[in-house]
Structure 1
Amino acid sequence: MKRSLRNRQERGAALIIGLILITVASLLAITSMRGSRMQEMMTSNQNNKLISQMAAEAGASELFEWASSLTATQWMSWRNGDLLWDTNRIPTEDGGSPFIGNFGFFWIDPSELTWVVSPNAQVTAQVNGAARRDDVPESLAITRISVVLEAPSAVANAGVSPFEDGVVGCSGINMTGSGQIDSFDSNLGGYDEWYTDISAGEARRNSLRTNVTVRTTQADATGSLSGNAPIYGDLVFTGSNLSLSGGTPVYGNVSAEGNVSANGNIQGTLTAGGNVTFGTASTQGGHVMAGGDAVVQATANPPPSIDAAGKSQWPDWWKWDPKLQALSEKYRSDVDLTIPSLINSGESCDQLELRDPKTDTPGKMFADVWNNPNTLQASEWLKSNCGTKCIDDKAKKLTLTGTGSSTSTIGVSGQQLMLRVDKELTTSGNLAGIRIEGDVTLVVDGNFDLGNNTQLQIAKDASLTLLVTGKTTLSGGSNLLGESPSFVRGDGDSKKAAVQLFSSYKDANNNQPGVFVGGANNSHVAVYAPHTAVRVVGSGEIFGSLRGRYVDIRGSGDVHFDEALDAVTYGTSGGGGQANPAAFRSMVEILP
């Protein structure tokens, strides 16, 4: 009886132990299955990540191969939107290009291309690579990389475009007040006129376009943008410290060789070779790349992402705000970055050599007109064509004058006229206006002062080229206006601005401008003064471009860059060497 009870007890214990072992084995099996599933998912995710990286790198390689086949002219067409990369397509479900096999694909959104027009003509492209799981088609692993390419160089002797950027202060830019800088295209009509954008299928205003670059060229350049002077375009700064203060908004990209202190709105990307400090600045979705540290302070609208070769820093109190804390996770430090230099050591501020580099005197452009046998003495021509009442010829000054509201005409329609003045040239209060007919070139060996409310009218298809060795003053109330909206005259290599001012005046003092535009002066003029400061004050407007050793824009005056000036070149246009292809500058992965 006792043995039977003991046997039953032993069998019961064995059953319990067996059940426990089965349970433990089941748990181990389930854990192992879960671990295997987790490992499988991790392996799959890693595989998808690798596929997306390979797809992005394949896209970058194909983009570079395509870009390196472009000529300098084709690169310009790409920049202007007239030429599209042939793989700028939305991926298709049939697995066609730009898919990589059946698993990965890449694409580039043309709207994400960021252009730095000068000095090295670079483009930053965001290349997207993605991997797709066949069982879950909507699940994607995406890698985004930023690729910087440099334009192919133009063929040697292909000519110089002295007005192409818009506003160039080689040694420095100073902007105060509330004047704005933007662009328009006189080929489409006058500033702020309506035109039809065929590609968009809609009517638009020919104003506030963003195809202007405000830039410096020298390594020791100074830059201060204060007040509330908006720039509807890009800003390229080659000095060591750029200050954006007073809420100055830039509706484009900012590229700097050195440090940037930003207070104001930056719509596009910000790339700096040094440190970046955001005080009260705000951004509108632009990525930040800093070759040094990136410090975000009290801004209410911080940048969406930062890559810094140094440290990325932000306020400590962000940790209490879930949104800001999540944003800070996109601020990367110690990133291996290559920030391309903005300084082109081969670029001279005086691209056209208005001053002879050997003698430091007015150069070939002046001599060719002054010594041309067809060039006439201005005083003699004026006496012969409008009588003695239209001029006052003194020993040191030639004054264009008149009676009451009279207007003097210089030039003959359809003909070329070259005049020279070996003294100061000015206008008097009795002269209401000067009308330019034909193609007039006027070289003044002295100061030129267009003032006293004198109106200078450029007839349709006429042009005026001013070559001045002294100071140039366009004072209050004087205007240089064209009767035709188009600002460019001629065809092919003979294209020129309707009014173009070349000043060989030299002065290193920024407070003694060699070109002065003041008062309520509205002028269509392309200014090239590489050896002196150019100052624009008051409430007038400049329609054209400015290039000076130093550019100082004050008050509420606006500068409207005419994009048509890109077509104006000086120098020979054929032969002279081979162009260098586009160059690959850098590539860095961007956090999602």
Structure 2
Amino acid sequence: MYLSHSSQQGMSLVTVMLLSSLAGILVLGSLRDNIIQERLSGNFQKKMNAQLVAERGIFETHAALLALLQDNPDATLEELMAAVGGEDLAKFGNGGLSDMRYSVDLSKDSSGQLLLASRGKRFEGSSALKARFELTSGGGSSPFANAIVGCEGVDLSGSGKIDSFNSNNGGSYDPNAPGQNANVTTIEPDSDITLGGHSPIYGDVAATGNIELNGSSPVEGNLHANGDITLSYSGVDYRVTGNIFTRGNYLHKGGSVGGYVRANGNAEMKWTTFISNLNNSEADILYGGTGIFPDGTNHKDQAGNYYGDAQFKVMPDVAKVPENDGSSSDLTDPSTNCDPLSIAPQISAIDDGSSTLHSFSAGAGATYKFTPNAGQGSVAQMAPVNAEVLGFIYPVYKLSQFSMSSNANVSIAGGDVFLYVAGNFALSGATTMTIKADSSLTLLIEGRVSLGAGSNIVTEKPGLTSESKRPSLSIYSSNTDDEGVSIYGNSEIYAAVYAPFTAVSVAGSGELYGAVRAKKLSVTGGAAIHFDHALANVDPSGGLIGEKKLRLVGWEY
């Protein structure tokens, strides 16, 4: 059959139209798929935005609750909820984008936990999640709750004062108005406290062993001992202004007691000794053993009753000074455990072998500056390495030893600085270490610490930093030598010293502001210790103990 030229053109046109139709169908299908994908992506994005804004609702509500708790530390969970919006009432907010918003319902479940149920929306997208929080009561206690803790004994034979101040109240110590919170105590059984020379103590003294007041050391507080208490001869009118409690014997050789006396054992008072019992609210003396009172004139109460009479021979059953007798299951209790922080394994774990230990020696006028992130100066530059310290991760300078001598100057600036020293830490000669305001230095030492005569540690702002609540200078020692921490000289130093396995010696005519916790403590010469009572409320890892916190328990998506 013969096809004309016009017929061929017609067939070509039909073919082209069919191909065009197929292409159009494919394009339309692709467009439809693209539209579906776009809608799916849009919906996914909206849902992600909704989830993000729902999370933002949790975070902002939590922040608002924390701000309220800071302003009112004693607030209950109900009071916090009412201040934010109330139980089952929504808190609203937005995420900063168009039509992006959240609402949070606050409720308290049957277990007493706070439940924040947040719903986020953006356009058609929505998401919901829940977060549970627990209002903790705080609790805990600081290892620096007392001025002096000599776990196995305290010997104060110098002439410096043991008193207190509070760096949170004005920040400075006033020698004309000494605070009376400078308590001295021991922990291990049968550990004695000996007070010689003329070291007045403005606080309570508690010993798991005996207490002996020699020289002319007066105590502006109470005495409490599991062993005997002896007050030696002295020219001081009042040897003790407070009360006396002993589970052992009481021997009074000289001076007066301002309060009353309780002794489970024998009670003996020499001639011209007195129990003033200024408040006269209870009996002057009670004792469970034999009483010896030769001064028939002065050994009577205000009503004229003689201390040898039967009314005074009554077992007072004096309570025990807390001690480490193995009965406590709480190894973190600083009143019954010399090392509540378990410091030795924590310090040794810092040197995990992953970093080189630098040797730091600054002498002959060398200068150096440590900041939280870098160290630089005339000694070789070095950088810290992240390591766990007291339960938190901090940048730590890892050193094999640290020494300063011959007019060297080191400054600590920019925040919280941590130094780990595997060997000894020694300052000698005319050296100066300056801790800048609102900066702190934490020393983690395995070797010995020696702050020699002529060395000077200057803290521009003694006390606690404004943000981290860390002491200006903290010394943590795991050393087990006979005398692992020695502080000499005639300069002032602010430090919180924690050395549960070694003796600490404070000598010379200088003054230590802060607190000391040691295996044993001796203070000689004219050295004084001024306890910073702000340390009694500080957690070593930073922050205040005892403050309530909203602790996250978990998420529910």
Fold in common (TM above 0.5) = yes
- Tell me if 1:298 matches 2:271: yes
Match of 1:52 in 2: none
Q: Aligned to 2:297, which of 301, 314, 318?
A: 318
Matched, 1:354 2:343: yes
The one of 133, 146, 149 equivalent to 1:165 is 146
Q: 1:189 to 1:417 in 2, by over 3 A?
A: farther
**CA offset digits 1:306-354 (Å, max 9, x no partner):** 11122332115538x9989926359743313221111333322111111
Whether contact under 8 Å (1:280, 1:300) holds in the other structure is yes
C-alpha contact (below 8 Å) 1:273/1:339 kept by paired residues: yes
Cα distance in 2 for partners of 1:490, 1:190 equals 12
Alignment partner, residue 422 of structure 2: 445
Pairing 1:148-187 to 2, within 5 Å after superposition: 158-187=139-168
Is the aligned partner of 1:220 residue 2:201?
no
Structure 1: distance between partners of 2:196 and 2:214: 5
| Aligned residue in 2 for 1:270 | 244
CA distance in 2, matches of 1:162, 1:280: 35
Equivalent residues of 2:469, 2:538 under 8 A apart: yes
Whichever residue aligns with residue 417 of structure 2, its letter is V
What CA distance in whole angstroms lies between the structure 1 residues aligned with 2:302 and 2:184? 33
Give the 5 Å matches for 1:369-448: 369-371=350-352, 379=358, 398-403=360-365, 407-411=367-371, 417-421=395-399, 423-448=400-425
In structure 2, relative to structure 1, the CA distance for the partners of 1:322 and 1:568 (3 Å cut) is: closer
Name the CA distance, whole Å, in 2 between partners of 1:517 and 1:364: 24
Distance 2:472 2:373 in 1: 14
The residue aligned with 1:545 is 515
Cα distance per residue 1:138-180 (max 9 Å; x no partner): xxxxxxxxxxxxxxxxx99954411111100000000112111
Distance 1:322 1:523 in 2: 47
Q: Which has the higher helix share?
A: 1
- 2:54 — aligned with what? none
Structure 1 residue 294 displacement after superposition: 1.3
Cα distance in 2, alignment partners of residues 313 and 538 from structure 1:
41
- Paired with 2:300 and 2:423, the residues of 1 have a C-alpha distance of 67
Q: Which residue among 506, 531, 544 is the counterpart of 2:501?
A: 531
SS of the equivalent of 1:187 reads coil
Given that 2:401 and 2:424 are in contact with CA atoms closer than 8 Å, whether structure 1 keeps it comes out as yes
Cα distance, 1:323–1:258 mapped onto 2, change above 3 Å: closer
* 8 Å contact from structure 1 (residues 253, 270) kept in 2: yes
- When normalised by structure 2's length, the TM-score is 0.61
| CA drift at 1:274 | 0.9
Q: How many residues align?
A: 372
Identify the residue that residue 5 of structure 2 maps to in structure 1.
none
Q: TM-score, normalised by structure 1?
A: 0.58
Residues 194-222 of structure 1 deviation map (CA, whole Å, 9 limit, x = unaligned)? xxxxxxxxxxx784100121010111212
**Partner amino acid for 1:342?**
V
Aligned residue in 2 for 1:483 = 460
C-alpha distance in structure 2 between counterparts of 1:519 and 1:477, whole Å: 6
Kept after mapping to 2: 8 A contact 1:354/1:364: yes
Report the 3-state secondary structure (helix = DSSP H, G, I; strand = E; otherwise coil) of the residue aligned with 1:538. Answer: coil
Over the matched positions of the two proteins, sequence identity in percent amounts to: 32
- State the partner residue of 1:149: none
Q: Secondary structure at the match of 2:215?
A: coil
Contact 1:514/1:534 (<8 A) preserved = yes
Letter in 1 for 2:182: V
Deviation at residue 518 of structure 1 after TM alignment: 0.7
| Selected match of 1:244 from 213, 231, 234 | 213
Equivalent pair of 1:219/1:343 in contact (CA under 8 Å): no
Contact 1:227–1:247 at 8 Å: present in 2 too? yes
Q: In the alignment, residue 432 of structure 2 is paired with which amino acid?
A: Q
Which residue does the alignment assign to 1:37?
A: none
Question: How far does residue 191 in structure 1 lie from its aligned partner after superposition?
Answer: 3.4
- Secondary structure at 1:186's aligned position in 2? coil
Q: Check whether the contact 2:208–2:227 (CA below 8 A) recurs between aligned residues.
A: yes
- Contact 2:478 2:500 (8 Å CA) reproduced: yes
Match of 2:391 in 1: none
Secondary structure at the aligned position of 1:564 is classed as helix
Does the 8 Å contact 1:450/1:475 carry over to 2? yes
> What is the CA deviation profile of residues 503-531 of structure 1, one whole-angstrom value per residue up to 9, with x for unaligned ones?
00013xxxx31100012132110000000
Aligned residues of 2:252 and 2:273 also touching (Cα < 8 A): no
The equivalent of 1:360 in structure 2 is none
Secondary structure in 2 aligned to 1:539? coil
Who is 1:504 aligned against?
A: 478
Within 2, Cα distance between the matches of 1:401 and 1:435?
Answer: 17
Structure 1 counterpart of 2:287: 308
Relative to structure 1, the CA distance from residue 402 to residue 322 in structure 2 (aligned partners, 3 Å threshold; closer, same or farther) is closer
Give the secondary-structure state (helix, strand or coil) at the position aligned to 1:163: coil
Instruction: Write the distance in 1 (CA, Å) between the matches of 2:301 and 2:288.
Output: 24
Which ranges in structure 1 are unaligned for 5 or more consecutive residues? 1-75, 78-154, 194-204, 356-362, 380-392, 576-592
Q: 2:432 aligns with which of 436, 455, 458?
A: 455
The 1:555–1:538 alpha-carbon spacing in structure 2 relative to 1, beyond 3 Å, is same
Query: Which residue pairs with 1:289 in the alignment?
Result: 262
Whether the aligned pair in 2 keeps the contact of 1:288 and 1:303 (CA below 8 Å) is no
**1:223-252 alpha-carbon deviations (Å, 9 max, x no partner):** 21111111011100111x321111210001
1:497 CA displacement: 1.2
Residues 207, 411 of structure 1: CA spacing in aligned structure 2 closer, same or farther, 3 A cutoff? farther
Q: Give the C-alpha shift of residue 365 in structure 1.
A: 4.3
The answer to whether residue 533 in structure 2 is matched with residue 563 in structure 1 is yes
**CA–CA distance in structure 2, aligned partners of residues 221 and 209 of structure 1:** 26
